[in-house]
């Protein structure tokens, strides 16, 4: 474990009844499995005591056809208050234990102004391995006090990414698996082309992760260096739908990299268009 952005299971177990700590279950189904799994039911079947369900899908912007887009700040604030989440508390998020979706919840909360957000190292899997308890059912909390301070500069949109690709004003780091990046495998979402944004560098999110947490800072630096990423220059992270790009954002934050943004539309937007350049050329 390489960063203060994580807390260990034994620490959480010790502080589980602390009123200044709130736990958020941020499990979500990977692309292609959304219709095979009901994450709300999985949450109700067993979750960490006191954890509310941070449903990334439900909390996303549903005025767009693109998946998992950031919601409007006021919409997010209302949702958090209704969940009983308060922005001035220490929020601890977790996922299944693969570090797939907890970084997206971490990034969303930070973008909306929460100062103190941590990820449970090893997630639910490690919590269970350590034989800490789970509880079933829903968690109902009093209304929270959630004040949004949205930093919209953290998000890049398609015109800005197109400019960065063309003018080389920022490095585009794509977190998808190499086979998808290299147009050797279909996308899990139908209707998307194969390939990547011209000039993008591939840092598969799984290369940054081990046992539900980030690799050491030395290992992270080595991964980025091997893939040609200059950590002193601006970076825009993307993936399939903006979820695992947050793993890249978490790794970069751990390394103290400052100029980092996330392309929220990611390949779900770029790969669906017929008027944008793609590598390898189609």
In tens, the pLDDT along 147-198 reads: 999 999 999 999 999 999 999 999 999 999 999 999 999 999 999 999 999 9
Per-residue pLDDT, averaged over 217-227, amounts to 98
Has residue 3 got a pLDDT over 70?
A: no
| Residue 35 pLDDT | 79
| Residue 174 pLDDT | 98
CA distance 84 to 139: 9
CA distance 252 to 110: 14
| Residue 225 pLDDT | 98
Q: Would you name the residues annotated as active-site residues?
A: 239
Q: Is pTM beyond 0.95 here?
A: yes
Has residue 2 got a pLDDT over 50?
A: no
Residues 6+ apart with CB under 8 A from 55: 28, 39, 40
Has residue 1 got a pLDDT over 60?
A: no
Mean of per-residue pLDDT scores for the chain:
96
155 φ, ψ (degrees, to nearest 5): -110, 135
Q: pLDDT tens digits for 79-135? A: 999 999 999 999 999 999 999 999 999 999 999 999 999 999 999 999 999 999 999
Per-residue pLDDT, averaged over 44-62, amounts to 97
Strands 171-174, 235-238: pairing is parallel
């Amino acid at each position: 474990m390489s960063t203060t952005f994580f807390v260990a299971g034994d620490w959480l177990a010790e502080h589980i009844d602390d009123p200044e700590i709130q736990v958020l279950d941020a499990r979500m189904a990977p692309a292609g499995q959304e219709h095979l799994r009901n994450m709300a039911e999985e949450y109700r079947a067993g979750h960490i005591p006191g954890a509310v369900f941070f449903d990334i899908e439900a909390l996303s912007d549903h005025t767009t056809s693109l998946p998992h887009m950031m919601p409007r700040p006021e919409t997010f604030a209302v949702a958090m208050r209704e969940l009983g989440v308060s922005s001035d508390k220490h929020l601890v998020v977790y996922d299944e234990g693969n570090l797939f979706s907890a970084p997206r919840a971490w990034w969303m909360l930070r973008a909306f102004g929460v100062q103190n957000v941590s990820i449970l190292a090893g997630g639910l899997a490690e919590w269970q391995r350590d034989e800490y308890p789970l509880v079933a059912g829903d968690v109902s909390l009093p209304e929270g006090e959630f004040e949004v301070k949205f930093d919209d500069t953290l998000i890049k949109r398609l015109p800005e990414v197109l400019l960065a690709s063309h003018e080389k004003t920022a490095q585009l780091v794509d977190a998808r698996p190499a086979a998808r990046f290299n147009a050797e495998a279909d996308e899990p979402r139908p209707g998307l082309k194969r390939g990547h944004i011209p000039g993008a560098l591939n840092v598969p999110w799984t290369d940054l992760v081990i046992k539900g947490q980030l690799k050491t800072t030395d290992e992270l630096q080595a991964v980025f260096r091997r893939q040609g990423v200059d950590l002193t220059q601006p970076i825009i992270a993307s993936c399939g739908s903006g979820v695992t790009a947050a793993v890249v954002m978490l790794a970069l934050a751990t390394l103290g990299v400052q100029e980092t943004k996330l392309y929220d539309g990611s390949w779900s937007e770029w790969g669906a268009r017929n008027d944008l350049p793609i590598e390898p050329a189609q």
